[in-house]
Amino acid sequence: MRYYTYYPGCSMEATGAPVEESIKAIAKPLDMELIELEDWTCCGSSPFSGVDKVKAIGITARVLAQAEKTGLDLVTPCSSCYTILQEANDLIKEDHKLAEKVREALSAVGLTYNGTVKVRHIVEVLFNDIGPKGLAAKVVRPLTGLKVACYHGCQQVRPSYGHDDSELPDWLDQMAKSLGADPVDFPLKARCCGSSLVISESDVAIELINKLLQNARDHDAQCMVTTTCPLCHTALDVYQSAVNSKYKAGFKMPVLAITQLIAVALGLDYKQAALPGNVVSPKKLLAPYFASKPQAVPAETPTA
């Protein structure tokens, strides 16, 4: 069993609910224990740094200080939280004047932060700690023939914390492949969905979402498989109807988070994979896979 401190981030309690549910569903079969950080507060996200950069670091530092007490890696599925936590973590170490201000503010609430937390994205954890081979060994419902466009988005790979390629990443492709699926070429896989502007400048965001859906369709994808970021998933799934009304695009592209795809391949049922939460229903697309009986896991998996 592997243990992690888990930081879901605010969106996972609302729009990201299906992604969150699928993460929790696959943790156990993958021998992962995600221990939710007690009494966590928001990371601040980019809007807070646009209101006050220093206070934003203070807000993020509370999360880091709480996490440090657990002694475990801090894992988040939200790409925005990931970048914000990483940036604050680096700044507190590099900028001594800032670190001093933050230290004082934290001490007012009885917290300290020594800079020892390792911040990780759950996609990176799935890729490096479990790995495509580890996933393949647990597949009981291979997704053979399913053409998927793997969408990594921005902040999982940029500004780049030394993991996947920041221009053309392929971790999701490798994992989807290990589940039996067939990742299509998808040039816009690391382009932005614009979700940070989807409320205040919705035309700009809808245009970006349209480009992504179009690119996936042009490359014959039957569905999109996204990073676990709740903002990416919501943009592509929930706002697809807005794209259709504006561009008369007629998209009916199911959008599964990678953790939902893993859940299906691991043999969980439709509900356990949190698929009823998806606005664009993947029911018809996945029906053939759910119709066939999950194969028994081989007792020995020599390839793993």
Interface residues for another protein in 219-278 (CB under 8 A)?
234, 238-239, 241-242, 276-278
Q: How far is the CB of 263 from another protein (least distance, A)?
A: 17
Nearest distance from C-beta of residue 106 to another protein, angstroms: 7
Which of 24, 29, 42, 170: binder of another protein (CB under 8 A)?
42
Which parts of 186-225 interact with another protein (CB under 8 A)? 191-192, 194-197, 199-201, 204-205, 208
Which phi-psi region, left, alpha or beta, contains residue 9 (left: φ > 0; alpha: ψ -120 to 50)? left
Q: Tell me which residue of 279, 299, 271 sits closest to 290, measured CA to CA.
A: 271
Q: How far is the CB of 76 from another protein (least distance, A)?
A: 14
Contact 225, 194 (CB under 8 A): no
Q: State which of residues 33, 36, 50, 168 lies at the interface with another protein (CB under 8 A).
A: 50
* CA 143/CA 256 separation, integer angstroms: 13
146 in Cβ contact with 181 (< 8 Å): yes
Which stretch in 94-102, 114-122, 174-182, 286-294 sits in contact with another protein by CB under 8 A?
94-102
Q: How many C-beta neighbours within 10 Å does residue 218 have?
A: 14
Site for another protein in 156-175 (CB under 8 A): 158-160, 166-167
Question: Distance between CA 61 and CA 66 in Å, rounded?
Answer: 8
Distance of alpha carbon 260 from alpha carbon 263, whole angstroms = 5
Shortest gap between Cβ of 279 and another protein (angstroms)?
6
Q: What are phi and psi of 177, to 5 degrees?
A: -65, -40
* 150, 154, 258, 286: which one binds another protein (CB under 8 A): 154
Give the residue with the Cβ less far from another protein, 76 or 178.
Answer: 76
The reply on whether position 51 binds another protein by CB under 8 A is yes
Tokens 């290990």 sit on residue: 178
Question: Considering beta carbons, is residue 17 or 140 the nearer one to another protein?
Answer: 17
Report which of 131, 124, 129 is spatially closest to residue 179, judged by C-alpha positions.
131
Q: How far is the CB of 176 from another protein (least distance, A)?
A: 23
Compose the 103-122 pattern: x for residues touching another protein by CB under 8 A, - for all others. -xxx-xx-x-----------
96-109 burial, b at 16+ Cβ within 10 Å, e below that, comes to eebbebbbebbeee
